[in-house]
């Protein structure tokens, strides 16, 4: 990507999109193209068509999506499948029609089977049943991967799908019910501290494990992937050398490398916030997948590693929460 290349960051005000804008700006990219949701509804086929034909971006980071935690996914399944299918279909197709050089589609670790072997490799896609709490979202993301792969095969495009693990960081959504676990716990422990409440309720049993990556690292990995020289990028698109010997979609895992239980996460957040008191587990709430650690060997072999530890990342996230609440 040349420094003056026209780069469209879809979803630039979101957790990942905002970090992408920071990362690209810091690296000297000067021609960033953005539209807010109000300016361009990516579920609107005609609006997306008009936007791409007028603007002709050269590179696309597709970080716009309907996103939420376990409760939101479970409560609004129709919105999750409809909006994600529409956004990605419109953006991927118009990228093809308008000659976009490279596109990075962001999926999610929930595309892998609920009981996939751990750590989960790219080749585990479509080898078993999905976790029910986020199946509509996961199926939309799987369709997005298949669409990237199909366009690459039929039209020779260069569309790569990156699968992030659970993300957090500055600019997160701190909604009490609809957010992911880290922003939810930051809010709960902070509110308990300022209101002198001794007990904080954490959903589920506390035993599920999650792998967490800071949005700054996620954006760094996305830019790293899009900057790969042609031969290396092409190799990721055509990675058919899996252990199973089967053809593989253009898919790459983006993870931190280790996971922790929700109980340990809650205790860590409690300590960082300085809340004194007890944690109680509400087992009427779903646990979701028990474990979903990614195997990020492909990305590591390409030369990328995360930089932000979970403790450092949680500190940064809490400071961001304090700035805005």
Ligand X SMILES: C[C@H]1O[C@H](OP(=O)(O)OP(=O)(O)OC[C@H]2O[C@@H](n3cnc4c(=O)[nH]c(N)nc43)[C@H](O)[C@@H]2O)[C@@H](O)[C@@H](O)C1=O
Ligand Y SMILES: NC(=O)C1=CN([C@@H]2O[C@H](COP(=O)(O)OP(=O)(O)OC[C@H]3O[C@@H](n4cnc5c(N)ncnc54)[C@H](OP(=O)(O)O)[C@@H]3O)[C@@H](O)[C@H]2O)C=CC1
> What dihedral angle (degrees, nearest 10) is formed by the CA atoms of 282, 111, 66, 86?
-150
Residue 95 among known ligand-binding residues: no
Count, residues in the chain: 325
Q: Is 134 in the site for ligand X (CB under 6 A)?
A: yes
Residue 180 among known ligand-binding residues: yes
Tell which one of 170, 288, 306, 313 touches ligand X (CB under 6 A).
Answer: 288
Residue 237 among known ligand-binding residues: no
In the range 55-74, which residues lie near ligand X by CB under 6 A? Answer: 68-71, 73
In the range 31-60, which residues lie near ligand X by CB under 6 A? Answer: none
Q: Which residue blocks in the chain are alpha helix, DSSP H?
A: 15-26, 45-55, 70-75, 77-97, 135-155, 181-194, 215-227, 230-237, 262-273, 297-302, 310-324
In the range 157-176, which residues lie near ligand X by CB under 6 A? Answer: 166
We find the least distance from the C-beta atom of residue 76 to ligand Y, in angstroms, to be 13
Residue 164 among known ligand-binding residues: yes
Beta bridge partners, 194, equal none
Q: Is 248 in the site for ligand X (CB under 6 A)?
A: no
Q: Which of ligand Y, ligand X, none is residue 17 near (CB under 5 to 8 Å by kind)? A: ligand Y
Token readout for 68 is 């939420």
Complex with ligand X: residue 226 or 293, whichever CB lies closer: 293
**115: Cβ contacts below 8 Å, ≥ 6 apart:** 128, 129
Q: Count the Cβ atoms, other than its own, within 10 Å of residue 296.
A: 27
Residue 165 among known ligand-binding residues: yes
Q: Is 100 in the site for ligand X (CB under 6 A)?
A: no
| Beta carbons of 145 and 107 less than 8 angstroms apart | yes
C-alpha distances in Å from residue 127, one per residue of 165, 180, 251: 19, 26, 15
**323: Cβ contacts below 8 Å, ≥ 6 apart:** none
Token readout for 260 is 């922790």
Q: Which of ligand X, ligand Y, none is residue 169 near (CB under 5 to 8 Å by kind)? A: none
Residues lying near ligand Y in the complex (CB under 6 A) are found at: 11, 13-17, 37, 40-43, 63-67, 83, 87, 106, 108, 164, 166-167, 173, 180
Q: Is 235 in the site for ligand X (CB under 6 A)?
A: no
| Beta carbons of 158 and 103 less than 8 angstroms apart | yes
Distance in angstroms (rounded) separating the CA atoms of residues 159 and 155: 11
Q: Which of ligand X, ligand Y, none is residue 288 near (CB under 5 to 8 Å by kind)? A: ligand X
Is 112 one of the annotated active-site residues of the chain?
Answer: no
- Rounded to 10°, the helix 310-324/262-273 angle is 50
Complex with ligand Y: residue 90 or 152, whichever CB lies closer: 90
Strands 209-210 and 260-261: antiparallel
Complex with ligand X: residue 55 or 282, whichever CB lies closer: 282
Among the listed ranges 19-27, 142-150, 153-161, 284-292, the one in contact with ligand X (CB under 6 A) is: 284-292
Residue among 8, 137, 151, 159 flagged as catalytic: 137
Complex with ligand X: residue 69 or 249, whichever CB lies closer: 69
Distance in angstroms (rounded) separating the CA atoms of residues 112 and 59: 27
We find the least distance from the C-beta atom of residue 169 to ligand Y, in angstroms, to be 9
- CB-side exposure of 235: number of CA atoms within 13 Å? 11
Which residue numbers belong to the known binding site for NADP(+)? 11-17, 106-109, 141, 164-167, 180
Binding site for ligand X (CB under 6 A): 68-71, 73, 108, 110, 133-134, 137, 166, 179-181, 184, 202-204, 208, 210, 262, 285-288
Kindly list the catalytic residues: 137
Binding residues: 11-17, 106-109, 141, 164-167, 180, 188, 203, 210, 287
């Amino acid at each position: 990507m040349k420094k003056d290349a026209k780069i469209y960051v879809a979803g630039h005000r979101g957790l990942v999109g905002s970090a992408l804008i920071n990362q690209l700006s810091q690296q000297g990219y000067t021609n960033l193209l953005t539209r807010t949701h109000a300016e361009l509804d990516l579920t609107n086929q005609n609006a997306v068509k008009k936007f791409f034909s007028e603007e002709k971006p050269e590179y696309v980071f597709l970080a716009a999506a309907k996103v939420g935690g376990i409760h939101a996914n479970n409560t609004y399944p129709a919105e999750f499948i409809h909006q994600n299918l529409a956004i990605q279909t419109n953006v991927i197709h118009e990228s093809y029609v308008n000659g976009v050089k490279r596109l990075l589609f962001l999926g999610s670790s929930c595309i892998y089977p609920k009981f996939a072997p751990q750590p989960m490799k790219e080749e585990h896609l479509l080898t078993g049943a999905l976790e029910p709490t986020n199946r509509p979202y996961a199926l939309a993301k799987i369709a997005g991967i298949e669409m990237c792969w199909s366009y690459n095969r039929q039209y020779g495009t260069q569309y790569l799908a990156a699968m992030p693990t659970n993300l957090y960081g500055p600019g997160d959504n701190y909604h009490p019910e609809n957010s992911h676990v880290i922003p939810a716990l930051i809010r709960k422990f902070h509110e308990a501290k300022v209101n002198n409440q001794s007990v904080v309720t954490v959903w589920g049993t506390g035993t599920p494990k999650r792998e967490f990556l800071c949005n700054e690292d996620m954006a760094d990995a996305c830019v790293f992937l899009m900057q790969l020289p042609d031969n290396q990028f092409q190799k990721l698109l055509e990675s058919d050398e899996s252990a199973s010997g089967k053809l593989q979609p253009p898919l790459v895992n983006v993870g931190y490398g280790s996971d922790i239980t929700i109980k340990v996460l809650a205790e860590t957040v409690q300590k960082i916030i300085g809340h004194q008191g007890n944690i109680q587990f509400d087992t009427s709430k779903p646990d979701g997948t028990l474990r979903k650690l990614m195997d990020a060997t492909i990305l590591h072999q390409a030369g990328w590693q995360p930089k932000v530890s979970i403790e450092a990342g949680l500190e940064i996230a809490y400071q961001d929460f304090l700035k805005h609440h």
